[in-house]
Amino acid sequence: MPKPQESAVYTHGHHESVLRSHTWRTAANSAGYLLGSLKPHMKVLDIGCGPGTITADLAALVPEGRVTGVDSAPGVLDQARATAAERGLRNVDFAVADVHALDHPDDTFCVVHAHQVLQHVGDPVRALREMHRVTRPGGLVAVRDSDYSAMTWYPLSAGMDDWLDLYLRVARANGGEPDAGRRLRSWALRAGFTDVTATSSTWTFATADERRWWSGLWADRTLASTYADRAIEGGHATREQLRAVSGAWRAWGEREDGWFAVLHGEILCRKDA
């Protein structure tokens, strides 16, 4: 029987403006809810590892264990390997994988981690079942996803409202669910987990440097990434409309009173022993 294949299109792609965001992520700012559960000897699977910054942090936190980072995009794994090599980490490896059909035996990992992954997959419940399968009895599945409709900012901006409306339409047309954060607990219960701890946390961008960085990467992403291509090809926006949204991001970033919060849902699911 053939393996199931990823049925959603990754909305963002791996344009420089996307990797600018992904390489900023650390275990501290993106996986804090998990860190207290890690032990030095653990074997960890990091799904959707991207350029590997979180993966490398996890490897440093389990020095007697091992971390495997997997991603559906082969190209980005070269950057992940370089990140690990630069840090001198020897307990980490990387491979291409489909979260719906992981190439690992049952009961392999102490922890299976996925950050900003389930919002982009075609069947998040099936993905969680697969994560459950490769987790050892008593082990943890740790998932964190943003929730776009719950993102909030100040000052109000019609152009930013247009951005959110456009992003939701493009992401859903690609087969994903951009409001994944609020759905994680429900998906985990449907996947068969019975011990689920649900929490939330935020990224906040408020200083001049934070606003400049966050607004700049979204302004660039709106014009030059795979997301921009999908928006136009899918008939969701014209090039002129994308330029207007990009301009709205830059205008917000220049406001001294600008503030933006990204809400994330989080789940820690323990596999029955």
* Region class of 270: left (phi > 0), else alpha (psi between -120 and 50), else beta: beta
Handedness of CA 128, 150, 13, 46 (dihedral sign): negative
Residue 268 pLDDT more than 50? yes
Asked whether residue 7 carries a pLDDT value surpassing 60, the answer given is no
pLDDT tens digit string along 166-206? 999 999 999 999 999 999 999 999 999 999 999 999 999 99
Under a CB-based contact definition with an 8 Å cutoff, are residues 177 and 184 in contact? no
pLDDT tens digits, one per residue of 120-172 = 999 999 999 999 999 999 999 999 999 999 999 999 999 999 999 999 999 99
pLDDT of residue 18: 53
